[in-house]
Structure 1
Amino acid sequence: MTKPRIYTMSFASVYPLYIQKAERKERTKEEVDQIVFWLTGYDEAGLADQIERNTDFETFFTEAPMLNPNVGLIKGVVCGVRVEEIEEPLMQKIRYLDKLIDELSKGKKMEKILRMEK
């Protein structure tokens, strides 16, 4: 069975699209980075290294320092699929990131996006 195309896509090629999506809605690159850091455990240097090395999504998430323990609080639909029901772990992580970026572009407060508010 072949891997979904997203797994082999370069994170560095999609990252600017996340930023563009956020900026179109008056949000910032810094907020996108904060979401990536929260979800994956990367810091600025780690994220820059992943981008510089042009790693694919599979490597990006495999090498992530630590998935946030609150990812289970991320719920909702992205690309027509409920993220909490995705069974393939890598696809679920990718869709978690998509969902958080969607929430940012829809104007949610960072506290809600990062699951800090109940």
Structure 2
Amino acid sequence: MAGHRIFTTSFASIYPHYVAKAERKGHTKDEVDQVISWLTGYDDAGLEKVIADETDLETFFAEAPDFNPNAELITGVICGHRVEDIEDPLMQKIRYMDKLVDEVAKGKKMTSILRG
């Protein structure tokens, strides 16, 4: 999947969709931020900066302050693919983030989402 179009998509363009998905299901922006922070290590200021800078997803993950080593515990299907079977490391990280936001929207307990 080298050079996939999603890699050059800005985080700022997908973030509002994540928040809207969670809010439609009765959850909050703070919950979305919490799972993204758990996965990537970005704090609130860091997220605001990558949004303001319109950082693309490739850079977003390459510069993640502290990508969580427990991310490999994220399993399941997202966009028709099992996240644990995705071979491209960047695509897998993007799908990990998608999966976490899906779990927030579905109302899973945060301890379960954060693999605690």
Q: TM-score, normalised by structure 1?
A: 0.95
Aligned to 1:29: 29
Name the SS for the 2:42 alignment partner: coil
State whether structure 2 residue 108 is matched by structure 1 residue 79.
Answer: no
Which consecutive aligned stretches of 4+ in structure 1 deviate over 4 angstroms post-superposition? none
Structure 1 residues 2 and 85 mapped into 2: Cα distance closer, same or farther (>3 Å)?
closer
CA distance in 1, matches of 2:65, 2:87: 22
Is there any run of 5+ residues in structure 1 with no aligned partner, and where?
none
Letter in 1 for 2:60: F
RMSD: 1.1
What is the CA-CA distance between 1:30 and the residue it aligns to? 0.2
State the number of aligned residues: 116
Is there any run of 5+ residues in structure 2 with no aligned partner, and where?
none
Write out per-residue CA displacement over residues 90-117 of structure 1, whole angstroms, 9 at most, x where no aligned residue.
Answer: 000000000011111111011110011x
Letter in 2 for 1:12: A
Aligned to 1:109: 109
Aligned to 1:96: 96
Most deviating of 2-11 and 22-31: 2-11
Q: TM-score, normalised by structure 2?
A: 0.97
Contact persistence 2:10–2:54 (CA under 8 A): yes
State whether structure 2 residue 16 is matched by structure 1 residue 16.
Answer: yes
Identity across the alignment (%): 66
